[in-house]
Amino acid sequence: MSGARAVTTNQPDIYDKLEEVVRKYASTEYLRPIADHTRTAFAEAEKFVLNFYKSAGHEGGAVRGSYKVILDSGCGTGESTLNIAIANPGIPVIGIDKSAARLTKAGAAPRNAFLVRAELLDFWRLALGKVKAGMWHIPYHALYYPNPWPKQSEATRRFHLHPIFPTLLQLGDAIELRTNWEIYAREFAEAAHVAMRVATPDRTIACEAFEPKQPITAFERKYKEARQQLWRVTINHV
């Protein structure tokens, strides 16, 4: 897997209409109807969380009446979900991906990991419903190596230039985005700055190059072997 190619793009810098696009979506709600298959998948994830906390020895995971849940969005083969679950044995970790082909490559999971096939744009809105209802508390949300949509003409398919972005920003005390494309990282951080000036200001945003000692996702391993520079954006509550 050492031949991973770096992102090629016709976009020289961060998207020139970023501020306009993010501001527009910051004051609107994404209303596309939620697909039935993601409602079903979400119900399975919810059941997993409930059963996890009901089972012996894990009652302490609930905080202020909410269940702590970690999300690993776009988990691919689920390697990161497993790694995050091992590092956080007291919290259920839900890995979400729309690709059945990738999910079926997942290895043996610890008992606090759950992989689910679903559309993120829908799953996130259902998850935010649980957070707003005080039922879920998301301490950490991983967004590792999302599809970059590197052509300039595809820019508004990127999560941070899409109407879903205000929902995503509300999902997680800490949100961590990883990417092998510097422009994507800088855009994500800038979009978060713009959105937070409009709505949720009490967050810190950091954007930096980083080198994982031990790769924790399939793509991270591929990029590391190809000696590509990796980038990380972290958004935390102040």
Report d(CA 198, CA 175) in Å as an integer.
19
- Residue among 40 and 204 whose Cβ is closer to ligand SAM: 40
Report d(CA 165, CA 178) in Å as an integer.
16
DSSP string of 18-73? HHHHHHHHHTS---PPPPHHHHHHHHHHHHHHHHHHHSTT-GGGEETTEEE-EEEE
Radius of gyration, alpha carbons of the chain? 17
Is 76 one of the binding residues for ligand SAM (CB under 6 A)?
yes
Is 99 one of the binding residues for ligand SAM (CB under 6 A)?
yes
Is 223 one of the binding residues for ligand SAM (CB under 6 A)?
no
Is 27 one of the binding residues for ligand SAM (CB under 6 A)?
no
Q: Binding ligand SAM by CB under 6 A: which of 52, 136, 140, 144?
A: 144
Contact region for ligand SAM (CB under 6 A) — 60-68, 133-141, 179-187, 212-220? 212-220
Residue nearest to ligand SAM (CB): 76
Q: Are 149 and 181 in contact (CB under 8 A)?
A: no
SS3 content of the chain, % helix, strand, coil (to 5): 40, 20, 40
CB neighbour list of residue 187: distance below 8 Å, 6 or more residues apart: 14, 15, 18, 158, 160, 161
The token pair that represents 120 in the structure block: 């993120």
CB neighbour list of residue 121: distance below 8 Å, 6 or more residues apart: 30, 32, 162, 164
Q: Binding ligand SAM by CB under 6 A: which of 18, 136, 138, 146?
A: 146
Is 102 one of the binding residues for ligand SAM (CB under 6 A)?
yes
Contact region for ligand SAM (CB under 6 A) — 10-18, 28-36, 59-67, 98-106? 98-106
The token pair that represents 212 in the structure block: 């994982």
Contact region for ligand SAM (CB under 6 A) — 8-16, 131-139, 141-149, 186-194? 141-149
4: DSSP letter:
P
Q: Binding ligand SAM by CB under 6 A: which of 177, 219, 233, 235?
A: 219
Is 11 one of the binding residues for ligand SAM (CB under 6 A)?
no
Q: Binding ligand SAM by CB under 6 A: which of 25, 53, 97, 162?
A: 97
Contact region for ligand SAM (CB under 6 A) — 54-62, 70-78, 83-91, 200-208? 70-78
Positions touching ligand SAM (CB under 6 A) are 74-76, 80, 97-99, 102, 119-121, 144-147, 217-220
